[in-house]
């Protein structure tokens, strides 16, 4: 006869302090706040690393491409693709940073703010419920598309514009100035594999898509929690 296995998981809720005025509760809050500050700092550093690599990649590719007439112009198109990949990676990291900032802000407003008031206590229990639910099941306070929009608007849109300007300059300058508009258009081709018309359509479409995506207004429900 099959019988269900008993649940041997400990009930931690019965062993944790529930009184907001107890010393154990204040000690736990101090450790939790310090841990979240460390977590936030770590994600901030990871975010800066991605931004720095994207900037160095942009400067390196543009310098390398303009430095020689033998370097093809489509290297800069690969640079745009690399920038897009860096943007996705940074947006994922930004969600973690924003989530950690939300936790810190929740503790500051619900716990420390009340304690700093003269004669104050640890405040109501609403913020404790939010923190408990989030600690049990982590829930990001910012969607991926919103994070992409924020990072694109703050950093990456300028890099996209810069690479585009250098790309157009490269086509116009090397190996020599175009004879006419048709000659300039034909230089858009990537060897014999990608025709000029395909590059002339997809490249401006990518630039326009990045611009519209960056300047689009953020909905009221897209961001919950503090702005980072």
Q: What is d(CA 94, CA 105) in angstroms, rounded to the nearest whole number?
A: 16
pLDDT tops 80 at residue 223: no
Burial 179-188 (b: 16+ CB within 10 A, else e): eeeeeeeebb
SS (H, E, C) the chain: CCCCCCCCCCCHHHCCCCCCCCHHHHHHHHHHHHHHHHHHHHHHHHHHHHHHHHHHHHHHHHHHHHCCCCCCCHHHHHHHHHHHHHHHHHHHHHHHHHHHHHHHHHHHHHHHHHHHCCCCCCCCCHHHHHHHHHHHCCCCCECHHHHHHHHHHHHHHHHHHHHHHHHHHHHHHCCCCCCCHHHHHHCCCECCCECHHHHHHHHHHHHHHHHHHHHCCCCCCCECCCCC
With a pLDDT cut of 70, the percent of the chain lying above it is 82
What mean pLDDT comes out for the span 32-51?
A: 91
Q: The tokens of 98 are what?
A: 């924003």
Q: Token pair of 150, please?
A: 């924020």
pLDDT band at 14 (very low <50, low <70, confident <90, very high): very low
Residues 213, 91 contacting (CB under 8 angstroms): no
What's the pTM value of the predicted model, to 2 decimals? Answer: 0.77
On average, the pLDDT of the chain sits at: 82
Angle between helical axes of 74-107 and 157-173 (0-180°, round to 10):
170
pLDDT at 95: 92
Rounded Cα–Cα distance for residues 35 and 43 (Å): 13
Nearest to 29 by CA among 98, 127, 118: 127
Mean pLDDT lowest among 21-25, 125-129, 216-220: 216-220
Q: What is the mean pLDDT of residues 100-108?
A: 88
Mean pLDDT on 49-77: 90
Phi, psi for residue 219 in degrees, rounded to 5: -65, 160
Q: What number is the average pLDDT over the span 61-86?
A: 90
For the chain, the structural domain boundaries read 23-215
Both tokens of residue 82?
A: 């690399």
Which of 36 and 15 is assigned the larger pLDDT? 36
Say what percent of the chain tops pLDDT 90: 38
pLDDT 10s digits, 117-167: 766 555 556 787 888 888 888 888 888 888 999 999 988 999 999 999 999
Check residue 138 and give its pLDDT: 81
pLDDT of residue 183: 85
CB 191 within 8 A of CB 87: no
Q: What is the pLDDT of residues 162-207, one digit of tens each?
A: 999 999 999 988 888 888 888 888 888 888 888 999 999 999 999 9
Q: Which residues pair with 194 in a beta bridge?
A: 190
């Amino acid at each position: 006869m099959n019988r269900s296995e008993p649940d041997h998981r400990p009930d931690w809720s019965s062993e944790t302090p529930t009184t907001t005025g107890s010393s154990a509760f204040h000690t736990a809050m101090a450790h939790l706040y310090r841990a979240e500050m460390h977590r936030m700092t770590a994600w901030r550093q990871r975010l800066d690393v991605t931004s720095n690599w994207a900037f160095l990649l942009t400067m390196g590719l543009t310098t390398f491409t303009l430095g020689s007439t033998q370097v093809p112009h489509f290297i800069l198109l690969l640079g745009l693709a690399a920038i897009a990949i860096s943007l996705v990676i940074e947006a994922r990291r930004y969600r973690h940073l924003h989530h950690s900032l939300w936790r810190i802000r929740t503790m500051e407003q619900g716990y420390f703010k009340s304690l700093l008031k003269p004669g104050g206590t640890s405040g109501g229990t609403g913020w404790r419920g939010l923190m408990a639910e989030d600690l049990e099941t982590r829930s990001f306070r910012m969607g991926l598309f919103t994070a992409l929009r924020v990072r694109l608007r703050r950093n990456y849109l300028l890099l996209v514009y810069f690479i585009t300007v250098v790309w157009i300059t490269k086509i116009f300058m090397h190996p020599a100035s175009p004879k006419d508009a048709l000659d300039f258009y034909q230089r858009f081709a990537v060897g014999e594999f990608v025709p000029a018309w395909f590059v002339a359509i997809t490249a401006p479409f990518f630039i326009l898509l990045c611009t519209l995506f960056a300047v689009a207004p953020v909905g009221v429900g897209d961001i919950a929690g503090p702005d980072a």
